[in-house]
Homo-oligomer: A and B are copies of this chain.
Amino acid sequence: MIAKVIVTPKPVVNDPQGNTVKQGLASLGFREVSDVRVGKYIEVSLDAPSEHEARQRVEAMCQQLLANHVIEDFHFEIEHEGRHQR
């Protein structure tokens, strides 16, 4: 199975990387951009007996390593043999 994890800065947290990208886009002429937020995308390939179990393990991975829960939110999808579930 493959877990597709997205980690984003919480809305209240300052995002200097996003601001820099926004300025870069503006200087390239993309002035219609009002906001940019930059996060991480992490693809985890794992073996699990069921999707339910995979979901629990990936949740634990996020809490222990992949996301910093003080300043970041996360969500993920599990993909299994070409099937796609949210």
Contacts and interface: CB of A to CB of B under 8 A. Distances in A.
Interface string A39-74: 111111111100000000100110011100000000
Contact of A45 (B33, B43, B57, B61): B33
Contact of A36 (B8, B44, B60): B44
Interface residues of A, number: 32
Contact of A21 (B34, B57, B66): B66
A24 interface: yes
A7 to B, nearest CB: 7
Contact of A64 (B28, B33, B36, B37): B28
Top-9 shortest CB links A-B: A35-B45, A39-B41, A41-B41, A37-B43, A32-B47, A34-B45, A32-B46, A33-B46, A6-B41
